[in-house]
Amino acid sequence: MSATGRALCIPMLALVGVALTVPLLAAQPPRLIVKLRASPTQVALDTVALAREQVPATPAETFAALRAVYEELKIPRTVDDSAHGQLGTLRLVRTSSLAGERMAAYLNCGSGMTGAYADSWRITMGIASFVRTARDGSTTVATGFVAQADDMDGASKEPIMCGSTGVLETRIASRVKERIATGR
């Protein structure tokens, strides 16, 4: 091969390599990242997802049931991406209750003389559920949930991180499975 042929061959191989890689990159779902003041790092919600459950339905049926569960629990959605199986909100601020329950049922933020901080402090959270196809072809649903609590009394204080009890994540997965089973 001539020097000119080799000079053209190398860029062509690089171009083919890039062309083959682009579809793989496009297939990756965007990461749902939450940054809370109380946390030193950003949190990718899919990395903290709990209550990973197999669902006897297609991903499309599971996502439709998941969307209905979010509506039923009155959890707002700023992310609603059926193509990548992602549903939730990256910033939700609430006090005292969520999805019809005391906040302390879902979060452990510590407690003081008046009770659980989760029930009396302002909670800033990110919550997202993920519908995925497992290697065996089954469908799974899992939910990631992170939160911080801000004391609303008196002088400004730093927020504190809250830990999930797993109750909300389990409730979402159970309700999705119930909806699939009953065809609602």
Q: Across-strand partners of 160?
A: 149
- CA angle (40 as vertex; 120, 141 as ends), nearest 5: 70
Pair 49, 146: CB distance under 8 Å: no
What's the pTM value of the predicted model, to 2 decimals? 0.83
pLDDT digits (tens, 9 = 90+) for 148-180: 999 998 777 899 999 999 999 999 999 999 999
CATH fold, domain 31-182, is: Alpha-D-Glucose-1,6-Bisphosphate; Chain A, domain 4 (3.30.530)
What's the whole-number mean pLDDT along residues 74-94?
Answer: 97
Contacts of 106 (CB under 8 A, 6+ apart): 98, 99, 118, 145, 164, 165, 167, 168
